[in-house]
């Protein structure tokens, strides 16, 4: 069995993650997150134009309404759909925009309209944060009980890593953060903790067998022994969601893409963050039984 | 019966259950008085998949007023009635929190009109047979459902002094004639005046049940003490987009599941095939629980479900990898299988329990969509534990017992 020298390069793996997160934090600091209407309040108008159209013309058309901010986006398989995101519109304004679009493109139809007052999203966001925090404490307690406190801390740090990578991803690629963002984060956290525990479980088992080995060696061996499983589970999970990304339609493209990034991050953090951290926390002594 | 025959029989039974479940889910079944609808009909689709309008209304107190439970209930009744007039099949009008009302109207095409109907402030009028307005909601100070002398349900009305005066005149004028109570232009009751009422306290009789009385009283209260409702959140999805999203996500989901299954067979051979069968059980089990809980399937919900299919094989992957390790160390198929299962079990137990713990916390502390998400996560986890461990184990052990496949290569070792 090949032994990969993963622990020996732990600083490399952590640096890669830190670089991604630093880039994300820089993006977050300079331009922030692209908060969707669920959080900022506003309107989304989704039209099926029914014929090829020019996005620039659409932008000009919406621009003529003198809204404080707005965004236009092409969508649909044949690029004949138009998604307009604006500040909160009055019923009258919305009507006029739809009318002007239908004047320009007579076959156009409003197929989706959403309006959100900012209050709702903020409440959901706060609740989600609190719930997530308490869930993490629950995981920490369980892992401490079943394994040890140091494993718990390493597992939680890996989760924090995943959440930071996700936030970085949203910020760098300017993906709108809507209410599904919370679902994405929760899914990824669930996947990641599951993944981490599998390796910690193997480490626990190997601690008993490999009495004389160093913690680095034990972590390395455990990672290698579970490598096939780590890769295969990531593959099946990604296979299931990638089809959805390509074929699932416009409305869930961002959602599925974020899930894909999160799954990759969760798989990475298990091997390259949680395990090295565990080994570091256990200290430098040569043998596990020292 | 030989061990071999017994094993074959057990496998046949499981295959039969799988086919039976699949048939029931796809076509539905009818046994005597019991009937199970096919999954297509039984599962409730969210508005994003079938099209329709979702509106979240929030009550805004007028100066000097407070929002009470009673007022909110009355407002809810008023809206439910308006929604009925729109002729929507299966509308949902429920209170949410202290001061909000959630309205869901599946399949509504003219969202503008629906929003106008829902959004207007209630107006209540008492109208005489001469079509003249006797008094308005402003004059009504209360309406309640009560039991009369002979235990008959009725609505008791209280009017303010101005209302009492107007009502006294009207009851004198229209004795033995009906006075219509009109809410938002629709007659909700037309009691006949039996006597002249001068003290501003009237009762409406002739109601079939106390529930009917309570509903009428709530409607009158809702019109008399209207709360201003603001539309905090509106989501309208056209029926074409909804159908399109449903078709696309289902097709993508099927392709995703087929890819996962193909991967399992290519990589794990016979155990992979068994895992795929367990995965079908998983999918069917989750669908059955969804239907039983009357859960609503949304677009992100479908995505989460499909993702969970990819994750559900994890327990099998863990077992099979252990199984391979044991085979490599020279054990027989049966011994390796037993060892693989028992050694993988702790890992599966710990990793799934951690996820379930965080899901339970989310369920307890979260609300709305977060709660829904937590439930899905828990259902998925428990179902995959059952199918990946119990179903796979029975199938594999018995398959090995039949000695149909003895080449270790077929078990991916």
pLDDT score of B132: 87
- Say which residue the tokens 């390069």 belong to: A9
Could you tell me which CATH class the domain A7-36+120-282 is placed in? mainly alpha
- Contact across the interface for A194 and B351, Cβ inside 8 Å: yes
In a 3-state reduction of DSSP, which class is residue B178?
Answer: strand
Cβ neighbours of B230 in A, within 8 Å: 117
* A286 pLDDT higher than 90: no
Closest CA to A132 of A167, A108, A105, A92: A167
- The average pLDDT across B206-228 equals 84
pLDDT score of A19: 95
Q: Quickly state the pLDDT bin for B63 (edges 50, 70, 90).
A: confident
Cβ neighbours of A191 in B, within 8 Å: 311
A8-62 residue pLDDT tens: 888 999 999 999 999 999 999 998 898 888 888 899 999 999 999 999 999 999 9
Which of A158, A182, A243, A256 to probe the B interface (max B CBs under 10 A)?
A: A243
B64-93 residue pLDDT tens: 778 888 888 888 888 888 888 777 878 889
Question: In b/e form, how buried is each residue of B107-120, taking b as 16+ CB within 10 angstroms?
Answer: ebeebeebbebbbe
pLDDT score of A1: 57
How many Å apart are CA A245 and CA A13, to the nearest integer? 28
Domain ranges in chain A are 7-36+120-282, 42-116
Q: For chain B, give the percent of residues with pLDDT over 70.
A: 99
**Chain A stretch 85-104, residues whose beta carbon is closer than 8 A to a beta carbon of chain B:** 91, 95
The β-bridge relationship of strands B44-45 and B296-297 is: parallel
How many Å apart are CA B20 and CA A265, to the nearest integer? 40
Highest mean pLDDT among A212-221, A263-272, B98-107: A263-272
pLDDT score of A2: 64
* B205 pLDDT higher than 90: no
What DSSP assignment string belongs to A77-134? TTS-EEEEEES---HHHHHHHHHHHHHHSTT-EEEEEEEE-HHHHHHHHHHHHHHHHH
Which of A81, A207, A227, A236 to probe the B interface (max B CBs under 10 A)?
A: A236
Q: Quickly state the pLDDT bin for B393 (edges 50, 70, 90).
A: very high
Question: In b/e form, how buried is each residue of B148-158, taking b as 16+ CB within 10 angstroms?
Answer: eeeeebbbbbb
Q: Quickly state the pLDDT bin for A288 (edges 50, 70, 90).
A: very low
A239-252 residue pLDDT tens: 999 999 999 888 88
pLDDT score of A290: 41
All structural domains of chain B, each given as residue ranges with its CATH number in brackets, are 3-44+238-411 (1.20.1640.10), 52-237 (3.30.1360.200)
Closest CA to B46 of B398, B411, B372, B390: B372
A30-34, A230-234, A283-287: which range is least confident on average? A283-287
Nearest CA to CA, how far is B25 from chain A (Å)?
Answer: 22
The model carries a pTM of: 0.82
B87-127 residue pLDDT tens: 787 888 999 888 899 999 988 877 778 888 887 777 889 99
Mean pLDDT (chain A) is 88
* B372 pLDDT higher than 80: no
How many Å apart are CA A31 and CA A210, to the nearest integer? 50
Does B245 reach chain A within 8 Å, measured CB to CB? Answer: yes
Q: Which CATH number is associated with domain A42-116?
A: 3.30.70.3400
Dmax over CA atoms of chain B, in Å, equals 104
Q: Quickly state the pLDDT bin for A153 (edges 50, 70, 90).
A: very high
* A167 pLDDT higher than 90: yes
Of B241, B253, B256, the CB nearest to A111: B241
**Closest CA in chain B for residue A144:** B354
Q: For chain B, give the percent of residues with pLDDT over 90.
A: 33
User: In this structure, what token pair is assigned to residue B210?
Assistant: 């106390």
**Closest CA in chain B for residue A240:** B256
Of B115, B259, B307, the CB nearest to A187: B307
- The average pLDDT across B10-37 equals 89
């Amino acid at each position: 069995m090949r032994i990969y020298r993963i622990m020996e390069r732990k600083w490399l793996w952590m640096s890669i993650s830190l670089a991604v997160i630093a880039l994300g934090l820089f993006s977050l600091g300079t331009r922030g997150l692209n908060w969707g209407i669920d959080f900022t309040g506003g309107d989304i108008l989704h039209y099926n134009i029914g014929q090829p159209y020019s996005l620039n013309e659409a932008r000009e058309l919406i621009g003529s309404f003198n809204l404080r901010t707005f965004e236009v986006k092409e969508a649909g398989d044949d690029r004949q759909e138009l998604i307009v995101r604006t500040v909160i519109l009055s019923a009258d304004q919305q009507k006029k925009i739809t009318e002007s679009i239908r004047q320009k493109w007579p076959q156009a139809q409003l197929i989706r309209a959403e309006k959100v007052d900012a209050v709702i999203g903020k409440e959901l966001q706060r609740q989600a944060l609190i719930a997530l925090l308490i869930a993490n404490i629950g995981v920490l307690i369980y892992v401490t009980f079943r394994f040890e406190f140091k494993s718990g801390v390493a597992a939680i740090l890996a989760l924090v890593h995943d959440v930071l990578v996700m936030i970085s991803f949203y910020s760098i690629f300017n993906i709108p953060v809507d209410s599904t963002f919370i679902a994405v984060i929760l899914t990824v956290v669930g996947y990641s903790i599951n993944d981490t525990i599998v390796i910690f479980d193997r480490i626990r088992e190997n601690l008993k067998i490999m009495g004389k080995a160093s913690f680095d060696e034990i972590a390395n061996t455990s990672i290698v022994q579970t490598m096939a499983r780590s890769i295969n589970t990531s593959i099946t999970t990604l296979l299931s969601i990638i089809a959805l990304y390509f074929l699932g339609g416009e409305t869930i493209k961002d959602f599925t893409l974020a899930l894909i990034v999160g799954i990759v991050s969760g798989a990475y953090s298990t091997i390259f963050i949680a395990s090295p951290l565990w080994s570091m926390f256990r200290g430098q002594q040569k043998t596990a039984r020292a | 019966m030989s061990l071999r025959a017994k094993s074959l029989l057990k496998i046949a039974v499981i295959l039969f259950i799988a086919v039976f479940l699949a048939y029931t889910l796809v076509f539905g079944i009818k046994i005597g008085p019991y009937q199970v609808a096919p999954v297509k009909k039984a599962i409730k689709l969210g508005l994003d998949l079938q099209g329709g309008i979702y509106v979240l209304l929030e009550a805004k107190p007028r100066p000097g007023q407070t929002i009470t439970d009673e007022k909110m209930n009355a407002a809810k009744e008023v809206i439910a009635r308006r929604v009925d007039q729109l002729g929507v099949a299966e509308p949902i009008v429920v209170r949410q929190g202290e001061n909000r009302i959630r309205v869901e109207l599946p399949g509504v095409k003219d969202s503008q009109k629906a929003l106008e109907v829902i959004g207007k402030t209630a107006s209540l009028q008492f109208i005489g047979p001469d079509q003249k307005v006797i008094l308005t909601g402003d004059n009504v100070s209360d309406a309640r459902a009560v039991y009369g002398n002979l235990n008959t349900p009725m609505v008791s009305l209280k009017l303010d002094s101005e209302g009492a005066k107007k009502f006294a005149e009207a009851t004198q004028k229209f004795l033995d004639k009906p006075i219509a109570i009109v809410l938002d232009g629709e007659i909700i009751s037309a009691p006949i005046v039996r006597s002249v009422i001068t003290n501003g306290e009237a009762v409406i009789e002739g109601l079939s049940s106390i529930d009917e009385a309570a509903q009428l009283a709530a409607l009158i209260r809702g019109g008399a003490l209207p709360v201003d409702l603001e539309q905090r959140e509106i989501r309208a999805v056209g029926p074409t987009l909804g159908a399109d999203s449903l078709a696309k996500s289902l097709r993508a989901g099927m392709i995703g599941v087929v890819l996962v299954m193909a991967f399992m067979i290519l990589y794990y051979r016979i155990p992979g095939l068994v895992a795929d069968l367990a995965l079908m059980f998983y999918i069917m089990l989750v669908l059955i629980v969804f239907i039983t809980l009357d859960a609503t399937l949304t677009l992100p919900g479908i995505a989460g479900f499909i993702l969970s299919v990819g994750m559900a094989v994890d327990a099998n992957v863990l077992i099979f990898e252990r199984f391979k390790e044991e085979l490599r160390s020279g054990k027989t198929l049966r011994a390796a299988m037993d060892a693989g299962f028992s050694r993988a079990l702790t890992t599966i137990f710990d990793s799934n329990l951690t996820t379930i713990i965080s899901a339970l916390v989310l369920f307890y502390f979260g609300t709305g969509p977060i709660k829904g998400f937590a439930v899905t996560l828990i259902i998925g986890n428990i179902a995959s534990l059952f199918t990946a461990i119990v179903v796979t184990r029975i199938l594999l052990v018995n398959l090995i017992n039949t000695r149909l496949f003895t080449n270790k290569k077929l078990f991916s070792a």
